[in-house]
Amino acid sequence: MAEQVSGRTLGMGEIVDTGAKPFELAPFGTELAQLGKERTEIVGLTADMGRYSDILPFRDAHPERFFNVGVAEQSLIMTAAGLAKAGKISYCTSYSAFITRRAYDFVAIACAHALAEVKIFAGMPGFMNGYGATHQATEDISMMRGIADLTVIDPCDATELKQVVRAVADIPGTVYVRNLRGKVPVELGADYRFIPGKAQVIHEGQSVGVIGTGFMSARARDAAKVAAEHGVSAAVLHVSTLKPFDKDGVIAFAKRFDRLVVTENHKISGGLCTLVVEALYEAGLMKPMVKVALADSFFECGAQAWLEHKYGIDLPRLVQAIVEGR
């Protein structure tokens, strides 16, 4: 599937607002191929989603350490766990929807419960696939953060994703990463450093505090710049690690603002919005809040930009939330 956005062809599962921004091609697989040269214990796996998960650069660099188990997500996770229990670090890929919904028990028991060194790079999470309910993992954060001893990360851009590829090798146990594929925008500065478990301010402002995760954090920053033209100053806190959740960081950030916007490429329930509400309530901190996230629903097929507009997670919706507080 290809879509016409901003005058160029958008590949399936690419971020809509790449637009004229600088981008990197296949940052996940490119970085993993390099890391694989440095660490020979790394193996790569896919369940027939090599092409669409960007892991092919690793396959080409290290064919003897790459395994395609076919269209079998349970097998993918079991095989990754077995390799890990025999001393490897298993990077495995498929679509987010298939790994989370179909292989959930395998991730929980074969991987997380055993503290197995399995690093799941889940493709096309949330609204990054226009194929409808089967392919749209709009509840993956909610599902995965329900598993104990599992780390959950939603990177913002190519810069952060490449750092996450390296960092997860040293985060003990099983890690679930929302992967970004194809032409991935470069949004964060060269001085940005991913710190596991730490939320970071990526844009400063005075009156509105925006809390985001994944590529929605970058979109929130774009929205904050538009909002400034309307006389509203907003800051953006990027929460890349959703589990463990940086409660203290979020509370300290929220205290600084009159009102808040929380945004994620995920359902409004069970993910970042829920985490923020829980943290603030426990801290006795009540602020007006607008949530820019997906409804509790199954969604249609369609071009990503159209879906994002219809279901209210696109740039104009974020600008409205920041400027008008509704």
- Minimum distance of another protein from residue 206's CB (angstroms): 51
- Residue selected from 33, 81, 168, 180 as contacting another protein according to rule CB under 8 A: 81
State yes or no: residue 100 binds another protein (CB under 8 A): no
**CA distances from residue 36 to 11, 59, 69, 168, 174 in whole angstroms, order as listed:** 27, 10, 20, 13, 18
Task: Give dist(CA 262, CA 213) in Å, integer.
Answer: 9
- Minimum distance of another protein from residue 261's CB (angstroms): 41
- Residue selected from 87, 189, 231, 284 as contacting another protein according to rule CB under 8 A: 87
- Minimum distance of another protein from residue 173's CB (angstroms): 13
**CA distances from residue 187 to 163, 183, 200, 214 in whole angstroms, order as listed:** 14, 12, 14, 11
DSSP letter for each residue of 111-131: IITTT--EEEEEESBSSS--S
Per-residue interface string for the shown chain with another protein, residues 39-78, x marking contact by CB under 8 A: ----x--------------------xx-x-xx-x-xx-xx
- Minimum distance of another protein from residue 245's CB (angstroms): 26
- Minimum distance of another protein from residue 131's CB (angstroms): 23
Evaluate whether 311 touches 299 at the Cβ level (below 8 Å): yes
Per-residue interface string for the shown chain with another protein, residues 141-180, x marking contact by CB under 8 A: ----------------------------------------
- Minimum distance of another protein from residue 227's CB (angstroms): 49
Name which of 15 and 83 has its Cβ closer to another protein: 83
- Minimum distance of another protein from residue 79's CB (angstroms): 4
Name which of 104 and 131 has its Cβ closer to another protein: 104
Kindly calculate the radius of gyration of the chain based on its CA atoms and give it in whole angstroms: 19
User: Hey, which residues between 111 and 140 contact another protein (CB under 8 A)?
Assistant: 113-114
State yes or no: residue 105 binds another protein (CB under 8 A): yes
- Minimum distance of another protein from residue 35's CB (angstroms): 17
Evaluate whether 52 touches 68 at the Cβ level (below 8 Å): no
State yes or no: residue 21 binds another protein (CB under 8 A): no
Applying CB under 8 A, which part among 19-27, 87-95, 179-187, 272-280 lies near another protein? 87-95
Task: Give dist(CA 145, CA 271) in Å, integer.
Answer: 8
201 by Cβ neighbours in 10 Å (0-12 / 13-18 / 19+) ranks as middle
- Residue selected from 19, 82, 197, 312 as contacting another protein according to rule CB under 8 A: 82
Which token pair is 235? 């800051």
**CA distances from residue 245 to 2, 229, 263 in whole angstroms, order as listed:** 35, 33, 15
State yes or no: residue 101 binds another protein (CB under 8 A): no
Q: Where are the alpha helices (DSSP H) in the chain?
A: 27-38, 50-53, 56-61, 73-85, 96-97, 104-105, 140-144, 158-167, 215-229, 247-255, 272-282, 304-310, 315-324
Instruction: Determine what percent of the chain falls in helix, strand and coil, rounding each to the nearest 5.
Output: 40, 25, 35
Name which of 23 and 66 has its Cβ closer to another protein: 66
Q: Write out the residues near another protein by the rule CB under 8 A.
A: 43, 64-65, 67, 69-70, 72, 74-75, 77-88, 90, 105-106, 109-110, 113-114
